[in-house]
Structure 1
Amino acid sequence: MPPKAHNSGGKAQKGADPFFIVAAMGLALLVTLGIFAMVPWMIGPPPSASDLDRMVSVQLKDLRPPEPEPEPEPLKPPEEKPPEPDVPMEQIMQRPLPEVPQMEPIPFTPDLSLSAVAGPAIAPPPPAGPMTFEAGEVDVAPRTMVQTPPVYPFRARRMGIEGWVRVRFLVGTDGVPRNIHVLEADPEGVFEDAVIQAISNWRFEAAVLEGRRVASWVVTPVRFQLGGN
């Protein structure tokens, strides 16, 4: 077996040279500074001249003072209305009250008669209208006083149409015809209007029954013929 070497390193570490320690610290400091110096180059390229100009312009804009904002107009204080003068209580109590017109009482005398107790009087029924009679029920039938012939319709005359209309109407006590109704017509829808218009202008002498005038019904035909009687 080889002989064991003596451990002389412990003494060397314990008695280290101070110069060696200072040199090691200086070397570490230089390495650290070198690393910090290389960081900007590792991050990105150095700024160009245009970038510097841009940065300067931005800084100049930032250095301009902001324009002062316009001061708001001062608010006008609300106008204070003068307080209404207090009216003394004495004046309120002494004000005269408005005069109220005095109404004279209306004398009321209740009607205690039998009619008032029995209730309101019932009005008599209205008088019935004049009685009407047929032509065979009167002593004297109505007589024609004015009888204007009806106008021949132009369309029927141009087309050569002839015909007749049978009508019924009421002759009043004044001799005026009323309630004109068409009973029959041949042909229909041609002569009816002309007949009604003509009869409304006729005038009669009223019928007579027992010496007095009465209203009576009349039924008569009206004929339309071209160039004839």
Structure 2
Amino acid sequence: MKKIIIITGLSASITLSLFAFMAFLISNDQVKLVLLPDHVPINIVSLPEDKPAQIKVRPNLNPPPPPPPMPITRVTPNVGEVNTDFNYTPPEIQQTGGSLSVLSLGNKADGEARPIVRVNPKYPIGAARDGIEGWVVLVFDINAIGEVINISIVDSQPKRVFDKAARQALKKWKYKAKSIDGKNISQQKLTVQLDFTMAQPS
């Protein structure tokens, strides 16, 4: 019972203390009143007048006309005279190593090989331009079907001027192969001379 009385007394004293403190605060509180002026200043801002819309002209996007064509200057070149007048006589062909006759023996023909296709060599351009003449001696074999094989240069004059042309021409020759008892056989070591001569214009 004493505890209740003591607690109640403490509570009452604390409550009174709080009320007294609040009254003190209220009495010392200074409230400042803000007085509004009689005339409130009003700032009037004038807006700029609306301007009429400006019409912009679109730029001309078309390309400019092309410039006039440049005049064509024609220049006639000076061409030096080149003397190309010459008559080419195909080289004379001399063959050794066998007779060209064909013997007829009944139904079987025997005989030495004989050419059936001859190709003239091309005159080298440099030699024709310089008016050079000469000859080439070649040795070759003929196989059983008449082809020219194993070509070699024996001699030539001038050296190495007409060798290539002579070799290329002889390689294209075709022969009727030598036959014995109607059977074709090959031949070796046949010799031919190709002469390169130029007939001068009259």
TM-score bracket relative to the smaller structure: 0.3 to 0.5
The answer to which structure has the higher helix fraction is 1
Structure number with higher relative contact order (C-alpha < 8 Å, ≥ 6 residues apart): 2
The structure whose Rg is larger is 1
| TM-score normalised by the chain length of structure 2 | 0.43
TM-score (norm 1): 0.38
Structure number having the greater strand percentage: 2
